[in-house]
């Protein structure tokens, strides 16, 4: 396995060394090839996502295919501008001079992706790597095997396989890849493996982007349009892979006097979205595998020691389906309030005053996203100032992920580095400063001997 990984790296590095991936034409051709995959094979992609995750077609199109389509479109539109050296003003220190920042590809990069959005989380970083002129190896998640093998097939058919390659496999293959020398590693997944990635990268001083997870809080103040807030939370939690998303609201914080209204309206809206029998709903993704199903059952059983289910709770192990489940009064020591839930269970914590949310959130690791629903400007400002998170949304969930003008990434335990839009291009580029001087003016102050007259300039 190690030999195969070594051979892959040797082959792709040789392709990178020819310089072909650096040209505008190569980058544009590979971005167009990616677009071709999307347009010619959308049905197969939708089917693969259904097979791996029972992902509803609408979610497959919006959250996976459209995301990559938008990234390719933007990169193709902006590529000339992104690649152009950026002029920078110079100071008296180097007078007279001119300066530019040149975006240089890093070389050969490794993208390791996760199973929950197995198509988008694989190709989105690849689009950034190609746009920036790199050769790239993609290792999709083995937990979404149908999507992984489809990606391998389509990349081989449409892309320049001398410089863009998919390596399929599980821990052994990923480990073999991680032991090679890369110019950047872009990893999406859990923080435990994130640490393994960082350790392997350290050996070669390889820079990394780690797109990890965490417990994303949603804080609900009482002065809000409750119905709209409830719908937006439901869309962000269960309308996105049935809670198996890194930026799904992981738990809610609201006040004690407001919680029963909140539970009522969420239950009503949930029934409107997923019907009276959510396990039969075609609009809800399944749980990825038995391991995660059992993990969620254990988490729910533990949460019920202190808390009570106020909505949902149904499950069907034979189909790996689990209903949207709201649980109230869970102990703050429970698994549900300690670990990332990454599934359809949503605990609600109640507090006397909404300002107590700061203590709760800041008592945990920095989340990938934090959501606040309020009409109180002062609370909003305090939230943005005092909550450190990968990203913040006021009065909605998830949407920052889809805004190409915003960097997407974590902080602390939720990750390092960011991508999306131009930030993807930057994540895979070295910003090389180039300063240029002429020979005409040569001020001698900087040259020895450092006479007292020259010291006056200090």
Active site residues: 211, 246
Residue (of 455, 453, 449, 445) closest to 94 by Cα position: 445
Residue 236 tokens read as 């962000």
Q: Is 175 in the site for ligand NAD (CB under 6 A)?
A: yes
Q: Which is nearer to ligand NAD, 131 or 246 (CB)?
A: 246
Chain centroid offset of residue 91 CA: 38
Measured at CB, which residue is nearest to ligand NAD? 213
* Interatomic CA distance for residues 114 and 117, integer angstroms: 7
- Residue choice 30, 35, 103, 116 for contact with ligand NAD (CB under 6 A): 116
Q: Does 64 sit near ligand NAD (CB under 6 A)?
A: no
Is residue 52 close enough to count as binding ligand NAD by CB under 6 A?
A: no
Nearer to ligand NAD, 157 or 291 (CB): 291
Q: Which of 126, 212, 284, 379 binds ligand NAD (CB under 6 A)?
A: 212
Task: Give the strand pairing for 184-188 and 315-316.
Answer: unpaired
The two three-digit tokens of residue 42, written as one number: 């959308």
Q: Is 397 in the site for ligand NAD (CB under 6 A)?
A: no
Q: Please report, as residue ranges, which positions from 360 to 379 form the binding site for ligand NAD (by CB under 6 A).
A: 368
- Number of residues engaging ligand NAD in binding (CB under 6 A): 28
* Least CB distance to ligand NAD at residue 415 (A): 6
**CB 117 to ligand NAD: min, Å:** 6
The single residue among 16, 82, 115, 383 that binds ligand NAD, judged by CB under 6 A, is: 115
246, 327, 346, 411: residue in contact with ligand NAD (rule CB under 6 A): 246
- Interaction residues for ligand NAD, span 331-350 (CB under 6 A): 340, 342
Interface with ligand NAD, residue 393, by CB under 6 A? no
Confirm or reject binding of residue 189 to ligand NAD (CB under 6 A): yes
Cα-Cα-Cα-Cα torsion 150, 153, 158, 162, nearest 10 degrees, comes to: 130
Decide: residue 456, CB within 10 A, 0-12 exposed, 13-18 middle, 19+ buried.
exposed
User: Does 139 sit near ligand NAD (CB under 6 A)?
Assistant: yes
Q: 112: closest CA among 186, 163, 182?
A: 186
What's the rounded Cα separation, in Å, for the pair 271 and 294? 25
Phi, psi of 204 (to 5 degrees): -110, 15
Least distance between ligand NAD and beta carbon 334 (Å): 18
Nearer to ligand NAD, 63 or 422 (CB): 63
Options 5, 193, 219, 393; binder of ligand NAD; rule CB under 6 A: 193
Residue 74 found at the interface with ligand NAD (CB under 6 A): no
**Closest CB to ligand NAD among residues 175, 395:** 175
Residue 114 near ligand NAD by CB under 6 A: yes
Q: Which of 133, 236, 249, 415 binds ligand NAD (CB under 6 A)?
A: 415
Can residue 411 be called a binding residue for ligand NAD (CB under 6 A)?
no
Please pick, from the candidates 213, 243, 347, 391, the single residue that binds ligand NAD as defined by CB under 6 A.
Answer: 213
CB of 418 to ligand NAD, least distance (A): 10
Q: Which residues bind ligand NAD (CB under 6 A)?
A: 112-116, 121, 139, 141-143, 170-171, 174-175, 188-190, 193, 196, 211-213, 246, 340, 342, 368, 410, 415
């Amino acid at each position: 396995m190690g030999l195969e990984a070594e051979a892959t790296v040797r082959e792709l590095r040789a392709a990178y060394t020819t310089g072909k991936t650096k040209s505008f034409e190569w980058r544009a051709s590979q971005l167009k090839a990616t677009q071709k995959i999307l347009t010619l094979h959308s049905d197969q992609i939708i089917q693969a996502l259904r097979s791996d995750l029972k992902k509803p077609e609408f979610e497959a199109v919006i959250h996976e295919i459209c995301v990559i389509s938008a990234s390719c479109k933007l990169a193709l539109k902006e590529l000339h501008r992104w690649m152009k050296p950026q002029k920078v003003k110079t100071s008296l220190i180097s007078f007279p001079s001119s300066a530019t920042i040149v975006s240089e590809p890093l070389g050969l990069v490794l993208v390791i992706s996760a199973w929950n959005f197995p198509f988008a989380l694989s190709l989105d970083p690849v689009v950034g790597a190609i746009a920036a002129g790199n050769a790239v190896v993609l290792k999709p998640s083995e937990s979404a095997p149908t999507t992984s093998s489809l990606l391998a097939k389509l990349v081989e058919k449409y892309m320049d396989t001398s410089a863009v390659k998919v390596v399929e496999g599980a821990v052994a293959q990923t480990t073999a890849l991680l032991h090679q020398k890369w110019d950047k590693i872009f990893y999406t997944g859990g923080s435990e493996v994130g640490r393994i990635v960082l350790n392997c990268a350290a050996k070669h001083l390889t820079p990394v982007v780690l797109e990890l997870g965490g417990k994303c809080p949603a804080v609900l103040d009482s002065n809000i349009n409750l119905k709209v807030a409830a719908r937006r939370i439901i869309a962000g939690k269960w309308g996105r892979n049935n809670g198996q998303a890194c930026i799904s609201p992981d738990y809610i914080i609201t006040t004690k006097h407001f919680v029963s209204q909140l539970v009522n309206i969420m239950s009503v809206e949930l029934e409107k979205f997923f019907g009276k029998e959510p396990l039969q709903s075609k609009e809800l993704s399944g749980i990825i595998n038995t391991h995660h199903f059992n993990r969620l059952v254990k988490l729910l059983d533990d949460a019920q020691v202190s808390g009570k289910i106020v909505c949902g709770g149904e499950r069907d192990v034979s189909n790996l389906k689990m209903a949207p489940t709201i649980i109230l009064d869970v102990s703050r020591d429970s698994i549900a309030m300690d670990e990332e839930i990454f599934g359809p269970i949503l605990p609600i914590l109640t507090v006397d005053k909404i300002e107590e949310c700061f203590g709760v959130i800041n008592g945990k690791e920095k989340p990938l996203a934090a959501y606040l629903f309020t009409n109180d400007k002062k609370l909003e400002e305090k939230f943005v100032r005092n909550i450190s998170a990968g990203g913040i949304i006021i009065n909605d969930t998830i949407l920052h992920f889809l805004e190409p003008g915003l960097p997407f990434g974590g902080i602390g335990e939720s990750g390092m580095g960011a991508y999306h839009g131009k930030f993807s291009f930057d994540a895979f580029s070295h910003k090389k400063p180039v300063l240029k001087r002429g020979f005409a003016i040569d001020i001698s102050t900087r040259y020895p001997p450092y006479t007292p007259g020259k010291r006056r300039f200090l």
